[in-house]
Copies of this chain bind each other. A is one copy, B any other.
Amino acid sequence: MKRFSKLTAVAALCATIPAFAQEVKTYPAPGEIIAAASAREWVSIAPADLLVMDLAPDTAGKPRRVVIQLMTAPFSQGWVGNIRKLAAAKWWDGTAIVRVQDNYVTQWGDPTEKKALPDGLAVVPESDYSVSKKQPTGGWTAKTMKSTAPKQKGEYGLSQPLWGWPIGQDASHIWPTHCYGMVGVGRNLSPDTGTGAELYTVIGHAPRHLDRNIALVGRIIEGMEHMSSLPRGTGALGFYEKDEERVPILSVRLGHEAQDVAAFEYLSTESASFAAYADARANRRDPFFISPAGGADICNIPVPVRRKLSK
């Protein structure tokens, strides 16, 4: 931990040692595997699948942009559809971050809880928290579950990165999991499932007990630090108690309707490099490590996402 920058340089160096130097067999670190992945292993994220949230600038006047990748079929498409309508209606403009609870969530929406919602939002059933493996919705079926990463079995059952997302599963269903940076839909008591107008992101250890109990609709792929480093709220559950504590939300737009939006891509969870990356996350053998764990939970194998490299 002390001088990771130097370590990275050492590891990069070691990875280039020629194969005939058998005595010093070394292994690349996960970051090196990502950096070495070929261009065709990366998948472009459509601008229309981005949600771009501009917060008020920080105290130094620096802009704060948060980019969310919306969840793709077959997951949570009812709520995602609502979110598209809310963004088109500019509903979030003038709302705020209302709650920051340490080791849990940062939540945003209308502090007054009185702002009228746009017409036409769907009421989504609890059954949509997960997807049947047998139900071929959104073009996906069990046959397309071709992740190169092995399934891991843990305290929360089976999991595997699939189609670019962290996914839990049992014999009959699959569902997205509550990892760091994932975005979910606030709701009241069941059977309410929330509209999507009130959203949160995970800023601590994965609260996996929320899986299949709340809808997940995406993940933050850039600007997460603007959400995770906010002062914690001092009210119950981390709600801010005073108006001036809330960071205002200037605007939320879909990626193809926002200004100056970068292009993003993720490392395919069906690629050979992803397999090597997942294995390296589970079995760290780069020079810093002496005891590989032999496994990794789904939230410790985050799907790599980056700005598209200019060519």
A-to-B contact residues, CB < 8 Å: 1-8, 10, 59, 100, 102-103, 105, 107, 126, 129, 152-157, 179-181, 184, 186-190, 194, 198, 200, 203-209, 211-214, 224-225, 228-232, 235-237, 239, 281-282, 284, 287-297, 299-300
Contacts and interface: CB of A to CB of B under 8 A. Distances in A.
Nearest to A226: B232
Contacts of A232: 225, 228-229
Contacts of A5: 235-237, 239
Contacts of A152: 155
B200 A1 contact: yes
Given A204-B204, A209-B289, A288-B190, A8 B184 contact: no
Contact of A224 (B6, B102, B224, B293): B102
B153 A224 contact: no
A288 B230 CA distance: 26
Q: What's the dominant secondary structure at chain A's contact region?
A: loop
Given A1-B198, A231-B229, A290 B213 contact: yes
Nearest to A103: B180
A205 B207 CA distance: 10
Given A3-B188, A4-B237, A5-B237, 7 more contacts: A7-B188, A7-B189, A190-B287, A203-B228, A208-B297, A211-B293, A297-B297
Contacts of A205: 179-180, 204-206, 299-300
Nearest to A230: B229
Residue with the highest number of chain B CB atoms closer than 10 Å, among A8, A129, A228: A228
Given A154-B154, A200-B1, A232-B229, A293 B209 contact: yes
